[in-house]
Amino acid sequence: MLLGREDQKPIRIADKKVVEWKYTTCGYCSTGCSIEVGIDEEGKAVASRGVAGADVNRGKLCIKGIFEHELFEAAGRGDQPVLRDRFHHDFKDTSWDHALDTMADKIKAIQEQHGRDAFAVVSTGQLLTEEFYTLGKLVRGCIGTNNYCGNTTLCMASAVSGYKRSFGSDGPPGCYDDFSHTGCLIAWGSNLPEQHPVIYWRLKEAREKRHFPLIVVDPRVTMLAQFADIHLPITPGTDVVLQNALMHVILEEGLEDRAYIEQHTNDFDQLAACVKDYDPTTAAKICGINEDTIRHVARVFAKADSAMSIWTMGINQSTHGSDGVTGCNSLALLTGNIGKPGGTSLSITGQCNAMGTREWSSCSGLPGYRYLEKEQDRQEIADFWGIDPSFFPTKRGMAQTDIFPAIESGQIKGLWLVATNPMTSMPNTSRIRKTLEKLDFLVVQDAYQDVETTQYAHLYLPAAVWAEKEGCFTNTERRVNRVTNVLPPKGNSKPDFWIFNQLAKRFPNGNKIHFPDNTEGAFEEMKQLSKGTERTLDISGMSYAKIEQAKGIQWPCREGEDGMQGDARLYTDGFFQTPNGKANLIPLPFVDNNERPCSEYPFWLNSGRVVEHFHTRTRTGKLGNLNKYSPTPYMEMNPDAAAKLGIQHQSYVRLLSRRGDAVVMVQLTQRVAPNAVFIPFHFHDCVNRLSLGLLDPHSRQPAFKQSAVRIVPVDQTLAAKLNKQRRDF
Ligand SMILES: Nc1nc2c(c(=O)[nH]1)N[C@H]1C(S)=C(S)[C@@H](COP(=O)(O)OP(=O)(O)OC[C@H]3O[C@@H](n4cnc5c(=O)[nH]c(N)nc54)[C@H](O)[C@@H]3O)O[C@H]1N2
Ligand SMILES: Nc1nc2c(c(=O)[nH]1)N[C@H]1C(S)=C(S)[C@@H](COP(=O)(O)OP(=O)(O)OC[C@H]3O[C@@H](n4cnc5c(=O)[nH]c(N)nc54)[C@H](O)[C@@H]3O)O[C@H]1N2
Ligand code: SF4
Ligand SMILES: [Mo]
């Protein structure tokens, strides 16, 4: 009998019987891959494939994109609005009219009794841009509460704040094509192969064609760190110390770009005075990277013809998040590396449309990067919408992370959550639970009814999801791409756009302001608001048809300009959005203000993501090949540390922090240092029962990546039982 290869049946990929492929853009991460969804004869979505002609992904998809068509039918979708008197009573099905009437009445009653700002709205980075713009119109123009924010406070707030402080405006200045030109790349707290696999593929391909040094700053040996030339396992929360030390060496050795600094930056002297204190010998003691390595990295970066930084949550989710972003920007400015091919400071965005909300949702201001604080901006928007400018507040209200404590203290009585699941994603979830229980009225608007937060809602509104809807997303490199409705909304669920429009009709200003009845109409309004302004955010040269044809267009893309593409890079002329057109160099004195390990809680607690899951698993937890590969909450622990405590591989332990406890399975790995553990945050009742989430003073973003825990033994049989209940294979 023949054994081996010849005896095996060849793998056959079953014919999915696709009759039509429909174009859309991936709804998970901010890479922005173009996808085609395959529809069969019965009108069911049966396959997904990458689009070869799309510049972003060139035919590729990661594991989440490949199975994205399965999410339409995933368990737990809501298909009927449901309502109850109190959250511990049973939900009852209701009509959309009754649901929205009740909601409008409750909002008005709360506002009449406790003031306009007593009703808060928290949205997301996962709606379509037109939906964000419309929600902004509804909240700022009709409901009129100033306590309006998004889950982007947990995610991109530090990047936004840092960009504004350095360059005078938000907006990532670089693009993926910079990988093909750069001479050196530093990745700060970013794990591309798992979190942005297709951006990683672009980087890898560029390095295969032309090797350039990749330097990874991360306390953990991530997959990206494994591919790096130099890995800097930094002491958690001390990136600004390393940044200061790099700038110290650059200035000490005269490696800076004097001409660029003089022409295009403010406050060089203040920055130089500050970094003087951060000589590599002193800095090494704080950030844990030895002084020779600091000097070497500074030289490699500054001497490269062009050099770039990228970063994600390792920088943003810190008490120095905003400072860390300005640190990346200052490194670029000092070496003349902004607005040139391969020379940039590029924040890697998180959610599929976190950029769209920053640009158009009015969460932190008014549409198109306008400010509530500027009279001219308020007037422009009020005129365009046809309302009185005095309806707008004159400064920004609370951030998401301040809204929850304000509920606790009784200032806020009602809350509307749109596409975010704070019961799993916020720090210190037992406190969040108590907070939600205090609300007089909570509305959860989500594509899935079974999200943990719905347990505390009075009203649940079932939203259509992703490619059941029509509109645009903006990705990390400012590329606007189309999402098209490849399938109709499930059951009686409705596009978020429709829900916002219907609710608007129930407020007096909703009849003054024009709410177009399709997203293309909203897009046309956004185009007009972006036209001819001084701002970089100009989309007036785009249209749905052009975007689809080009498979994504970057902004700025101005009306009347030729070609199908917008500008690849911002600030190519060295002109910034500050009063004098020069970028700000910002001194970063380091204050050690984190919760740190101590004798009682001796381990650093770090958290993040795995490639198979997206956030709180409302989608990926139910999709076969994603949950099969990563079904169990686990904790990475160093084998030497485990040996000292007598902890076995794959045994259960109980973690304790000053907030609470969690039981997890141990995975022994050298990926983490002996004094640190890492837990993916995707699972409910896990790492966020422990996390502290101290806030960055500028961005109000929580420091999810740093807190302290103790590890204690737990009854193995009981823990195994508990864990089995938690996973759903
Ligand atoms: N598969 C998958 N992909 C995703 C997502 C997902 O849930 N799943 N979510 C998307 C979203 S919204 C986001 S925001 C991005 C997040 O993308 P990433 O930020 O790349 O992912 P994380 O795992 O959260 O964190 C990155 C790294 O920060 C490191 N880190 C911790 N502390 C520090 C520190 O003090 N300094 C430095 N330099 N690094 C530190 C961690 O060890 C971790 O390896 O991913 C996006 N893509
Ligand atoms: N410990 C720890 N905690 C973290 C992080 C960490 O690294 N560590 N990362 C933080 C970061 S960066 C982020 S971005 C947050 C994410 O935190 P969340 O925003 O709470 O996470 P999601 O699970 O993505 O929640 C989005 C919700 O929107 C729903 N949804 C999807 N599409 C639609 C739609 O089209 N319409 C409507 N109405 N609903 C829709 C989904 O079903 C889901 O329930 O978590 C944060 N929490
Ligand atoms: S890399 Fe991001 S955008 Fe591309 S397929 Fe994967 S999850 Fe989707
Ligand atoms: Mo995020």
pLDDT at 87 over 90: no
Residue ranges of the alpha helices (H) in 210-290?
223-226, 239-252, 258-264, 268-275, 280-287
Of the candidates 172, 179, 231, the residue with the CA atom closest to the CA atom of residue 200: 179
pLDDT at 2 over 80: no
Q: Is residue 27 part of a domain?
A: yes
Using the mean position of ligand 4's atoms as its centre, give its distance from the Cα of residue 312 in Å: 9
Using the mean position of ligand 2's atoms as its centre, give its distance from the Cα of residue 493 in Å: 19
- Do 194 and 316 belong together in one domain? yes
Residue bearing the CA closest to ligand 1, atom 2 = 195
Number of domain units in the chain: 4
pLDDT at 419 over 80: yes
Of the candidates 234, 140, 372, the residue with the CA atom closest to the CA atom of residue 705: 234
Q: Is residue 591 part of a domain?
A: no
Instruction: Determine if ligand 3 sits within 6 Å of the CB of residue 26.
Output: yes
Residue ranges of the alpha helices (H) in 496-552?
496-504, 519-530, 544-550
Tokens of 455: 């347990």
Of the candidates 280, 288, 388, the residue with the CA atom closest to the CA atom of residue 596: 288
Per-residue pLDDT at 626: 87
Instruction: Determine if ligand 3 sits within 6 Å of the CB of residue 231.
Output: no
pLDDT at 36 over 70: yes
Q: Which ligand is nearest to the CA of 495?
A: 2
Per-residue pLDDT at 1: 52
Of the candidates 422, 452, 451, the residue with the CA atom closest to the CA atom of residue 693: 422
Instruction: Determine if ligand 2 sits within 6 Å of the CB of residue 415.
Output: no
Q: Is residue 381 part of a domain?
A: no
**Where does the pLDDT of residue 4 fall: very low under 50, low under 70, confident under 90, or very high at 90 and above?**
low
Mean pLDDT of 388-393: 97
Q: Are strands 583-584 and 265-266 parallel, antiparallel or unpaired?
A: parallel
- Do 90 and 47 belong together in one domain? no
Mean pLDDT of 259-284: 98
Using the mean position of ligand 4's atoms as its centre, give its distance from the Cα of residue 590 in Å: 25
Pocket test for ligand 1, best of 313, 323, 346, 348 (most atoms within 8 A of CB): 313
Instruction: Determine if ligand 2 sits within 6 Å of the CB of residue 350.
Output: yes
Amino acid letter, residue 636: E
DSSP letters for 668-683: E-TTS-TTEEEEETTS
pLDDT-wise least confident of 194-198, 363-367, 410-414, 533-537: 533-537
Q: Is residue 415 part of a domain?
A: yes
pLDDT digits (tens, 9 = 90+) for 564-601: 789 999 999 999 999 999 999 999 999 999 999 999 99
Tokens of 471: 């509109």
Using the mean position of ligand 3's atoms as its centre, give its distance from the Cα of residue 208 in Å: 21
Out of 539, 554, 569, a domain closes at 554
pLDDT at 272 over 80: yes
- Do 537 and 657 belong together in one domain? no
The dihedral formed by the CA atoms of 557, 560, 562 and 567, expressed in degrees to the nearest 10: -20
Residue bearing the CA closest to ligand 2, atom 23 = 616
CB atoms within 10 A of CB 13: 6
Pocket test for ligand 2, best of 127, 154, 347, 686 (most atoms within 8 A of CB): 154
- Do 170 and 297 belong together in one domain? yes
Distance CA 592, CA 601 (A): 18
Q: Is residue 228 part of a domain?
A: yes
Ligand 2 atom nearest to 127, measured from its CA: 35
Sign, CA dihedral 567-570-573-579, equals positive
Using the mean position of ligand 2's atoms as its centre, give its distance from the Cα of residue 245 in Å: 35
CB of 609 within 8 A of CB of 312? Answer: no
Ligand 2 atom nearest to 687, measured from its CA: 1
pLDDT digits (tens, 9 = 90+) for 227-253: 999 999 999 999 999 999 999 999 999
Residue bearing the CA closest to ligand 3, atom 4 = 33
Instruction: Determine if ligand 2 sits within 6 Å of the CB of residue 497.
Output: no
**Where does the pLDDT of residue 729 fall: very low under 50, low under 70, confident under 90, or very high at 90 and above?**
very low
What Cα–Cα distance (Å) separates residue 48 from each residue in 34, 68, 175, 267, 626?
10, 7, 26, 51, 15
- Do 534 and 616 belong together in one domain? no
- Do 110 and 240 belong together in one domain? no
Q: Which ligand is nearest to the CA of 613?
A: 1
- Do 259 and 320 belong together in one domain? yes
Instruction: Determine if ligand 2 sits within 6 Å of the CB of residue 448.
Output: yes
- Do 429 and 314 belong together in one domain? no
CB burial class (10 A; 0-12, 13-18, 19+) of residue 517?
Answer: exposed
- Do 69 and 89 belong together in one domain? no
State the Rg of the chain over Cα. Answer: 25
Q: Which ligand is nearest to the CA of 614?
A: 1
Using the mean position of ligand 2's atoms as its centre, give its distance from the Cα of residue 616 in Å: 6
Per residue, the 3-state secondary structure of 574-627, as one string, reads CCCCCCCCCEECCCCCCCCCCCCCCCCCCEEEEEECCCCCCCCCCCHHHCHHHH
pLDDT at 562 over 70: no
Contacts of 193 (CB under 8 A, 6+ apart): 200, 222, 223, 224, 227, 611
Per-residue pLDDT at 82: 98
pLDDT-wise least confident of 16-25, 554-563, 689-698, 704-713: 554-563
Ligand 2 atom nearest to 418, measured from its CA: 38
- Do 609 and 638 belong together in one domain? yes
Ligand 3 atom nearest to 28, measured from its CA: 7
Out of 38, 73, 108, a domain closes at 73
Distance CA 523, CA 513 (A): 16
Distance CA 707, CA 678 (A): 11
Tokens of 591: 């204050």
Domain residues for the domain of 277 are: 157-347
Using the mean position of ligand 2's atoms as its centre, give its distance from the Cα of residue 462 in Å: 16
Name 678's bridge partners. 606, 636
CB of 149 within 8 A of CB of 400? Answer: yes
Q: Is residue 358 part of a domain?
A: no
CATH number at residue 173: 3.40.228.10
Using the mean position of ligand 2's atoms as its centre, give its distance from the Cα of residue 192 in Å: 19
Using the mean position of ligand 2's atoms as its centre, give its distance from the Cα of residue 357 in Å: 14
CB atoms within 10 A of CB 562: 6
Amino acid letter, residue 585: L
- Do 333 and 418 belong together in one domain? no
Out of 278, 313, 347, a domain closes at 347
**Residue 351 φ/ψ, nearest 5 degrees:** -75, 160
Distance CA 155, CA 401 (A): 12
Q: Give the start-end residues of each E strand in 206-304.
A: 214-217, 230-232, 265-266
Instruction: Determine if ligand 2 sits within 6 Å of the CB of residue 246.
Output: no
Residue entry with tokens 């109850």: 84
pLDDT digits (tens, 9 = 90+) for 101-148: 999 999 999 999 999 999 999 999 999 999 999 999 999 999 999 999
CB of 40 within 8 A of CB of 46? Answer: yes
Q: Is residue 386 part of a domain?
A: no
Mean pLDDT value across the chain: 95
Q: Are strands 214-217 and 185-188 parallel, antiparallel or unpaired?
A: parallel
Q: Which ligand is nearest to the CA of 199?
A: 3
Using the mean position of ligand 4's atoms as its centre, give its distance from the Cα of residue 83 in Å: 30
CB atoms within 10 A of CB 17: 13
Distance CA 35, CA 551 (A): 10
Per-residue pLDDT at 565: 85
Mean pLDDT of 328-356: 98
CB of 31 within 8 A of CB of 64? Answer: no
Residue entry with tokens 């019987």: 17
Instruction: Determine if ligand 2 sits within 6 Å of the CB of residue 496.
Output: yes
pLDDT at 620 over 50: yes
SS3 call for 155:
coil
Distance CA 649, CA 263 (A): 58
What is the DSSP-derived secondary structure letter of residue 227? T
pLDDT at 725 over 90: no
Per-residue pLDDT at 628: 86
- Do 609 and 690 belong together in one domain? yes
CATH number at residue 514: 3.40.50.740
Amino acid letter, residue 143: I
Distance CA 256, CA 247 (A): 9
CATH number at residue 655: 2.40.40.20
Ligand 1 atom nearest to 222, measured from its CA: 44
Using the mean position of ligand 4's atoms as its centre, give its distance from the Cα of residue 465 in Å: 18
pLDDT at 199 over 70: yes
Q: Is residue 205 part of a domain?
A: yes
List residues near ligand 1 (CB under 6 A). 29, 155, 188-191, 194-196, 217-220, 222, 234, 236-237, 239, 312-314, 318, 350-351, 606, 608-609, 611, 613-615, 705
What Cα–Cα distance (Å) separates residue 669 from each residue in 194, 371, 648, 650, 666?
17, 48, 12, 11, 9
Distance CA 41, CA 514 (A): 39
Using the mean position of ligand 3's atoms as its centre, give its distance from the Cα of residue 30 in Å: 7
What is the DSSP-derived secondary structure letter of residue 266? E
